[in-house]
Homo-oligomer: A and B are copies of this chain.
Amino acid sequence: MSGFIIRGNIYHTPVIGSYEVREHAFLVCENGKCAGIYEELPDYYKDYPLTDYEDALIIPGMVDLHIHAPQFAFRGTGMDSELMTWLKEQTFPEEEKYADPDYAHLAYGIFAEKMKKSATTRAVIFATIHKEATIQLMELMEETGLISYVGKVNMDRDAPPALKEKGALFSTYDTIDWIDDVRTQYSFERTKPIITPRFIPCCSETLLDQLGEVRRLYDLPVQSHLSENPGEVELVHSLMPDTAFYGDGYDRFGLFGGEARTIMAHCTYSTKEEVERIRKNGVWVAHCPNSNMNLASGIAPIRRYLTRRIRVGLGSDVAGGQTESIFRAVTDAIQVSKLYWRYIDPKARPLAFCEAFYLATRGGGSFFGRVGSFTRGSAFDALVLDDSSDLHPQPMGVRERVERAFYLGLDTSGIIGKYVAGRKI
């Protein structure tokens, strides 16, 4: 039994569409979980160590459902091209370098350090096809204190020679080898493997079939990309003409929700049938608005997903997205939802701040279990923000201060405390 208390101005969104503010309140942690929020501290907790953050803001940690660690090196560059060109010219040449463990150690070290300092407390991460580098990344992520899933990527077709694994069987074998190594030789507390077929254009049906079996055998979750870009959707249709829609190509191999806890990034161009399957199978949608702008992909119809009670979280999608900041993903999600409403569907009400905040916390957090708010029993993932350096002449309430912290990107300079499952990092 271990417990402690932090105090400050609390903002969280236990339910989508509303928020709770508790000013100068005590937030109690017991055994890594939230035990309650109190304006007056009950006697029972009087002996718990207290950190008083005074006028600072306390919010749940951010959850990043989609980020590519090996692309971090070139984030914010090469933005003048679209998805398929960008993959060939920017992404693949960089990912090839991770065959070299020295390079991987250097590059992933920079990535992990930035993740540690970021607002993100939990992340779901793509590595590359390289087993050794993927394990290096997992070791580095474990050291950050963040909780994450990391995937060794599978690719056995339509990739440059250095990134094309030598056939489906080789790719699957390497994946099993990686999972076994992680299970037997490492005792990661916070870093778990996830099955990661890159996307259908890079994976043969044989490979998808085998990965589905590996997933079942090891009972692992799944992550991949879905309906990101019109050209990509068309390509998938030509590669698997007998599928009802793009996601059906994953689903027929047990890689699309149901028993397989699954994240699909983007879902920008999902058809009505695909959306219905996403809903039915309980697939998490990783909404990556920044990437969807940078790669000229489009705007995902998030209001439509929320109305259908589909699970939605946010992803930074570095390096289609330029930054690891989920604060930025929140405001981007709001901004593109306004353009969607204006130009594409006047019935799709733009996201309110508290809704986008929910997506970044409870929405994505639900992939990890009871994560993303401060309700009793939730994991104690918390950020403490000092926003006092941005002066303002007028009084400002807690709700406004939180909104401002996101729009001004105060996660780059204002984080003064970060807790993951009750552990200060």
Chain B residues whose CB sits within 8 angstroms of the CB of A339 once the complex forms:
293, 296, 298-299, 336, 339
Smallest CB gap from A268: residue in B: B342
| A334 on the B face (CB < 8 A) | yes
**A343 CA to B340 CA, complexed, in Å:** 10
Residue of B nearest to A394 (CB): B73
A residues 232-276 in Cβ contact with B at 8 Å: none
Which stretch of A75-83, A150-158, A177-185 is in the interface?
A75-83
Tell me how many chains of this kind the complex includes.
2
Cβ–Cβ contact B393 & A106, under 8 A: yes
Which of chain B's residues have a CB closer than 8 A to the CB of A73?
A: 392-394
* A128 at the binding interface (Cβ < 8 Å): no
Q: Which residues of B contact A400 (CB under 8 A)?
A: 74, 77-78
The answer to whether B350 touches A296, judged by C-beta atoms less than 8 angstroms apart, is: yes
Q: Is the CB of B76 within 8 A of A294?
A: no
Interface extent on A, as a size class?
Answer: 35 or more
- A296 touching B342, Cβ below 8 Å: yes
Q: A396 — which chain B residues lie within 8 A by C-beta?
A: 77
CB of A412 within 8 Å of the partner chain: yes
Residue A166 is within 8 A (CB to CB) of chain B in the complex: no
With most chain B CB atoms within 10 A of its CB, the pick from A76, A294, A391, A406 is: A76
With A392-B73, A412-B412, A413-B413 as given contacts, are A80 and B353 in contact (CB-CB < 8 Å)? yes
Interface residues of A in 384-425 (CB under 8 A from B): 391-394, 396, 400, 403-409, 412-413
* Residues from 264 to 303 in A contacting B, C-beta threshold 8 Å: 290, 293-299
A76 and B404 contact, Cβ closer than 8 Å, known pairs A97-B394, A393-B107, A413-B412: yes
Q: A175: shortest Cβ distance to chain B, in Å?
A: 25
Of A293, A353, A393, A405, the most chain B CB neighbours within 10 A belong to A393
A406: B residues at CB distance < 8 A:
76
Least CB distance, A244 to chain B, in whole angstroms: 25
Chain B residues near A334 (CB, 8 Å)?
A: 79
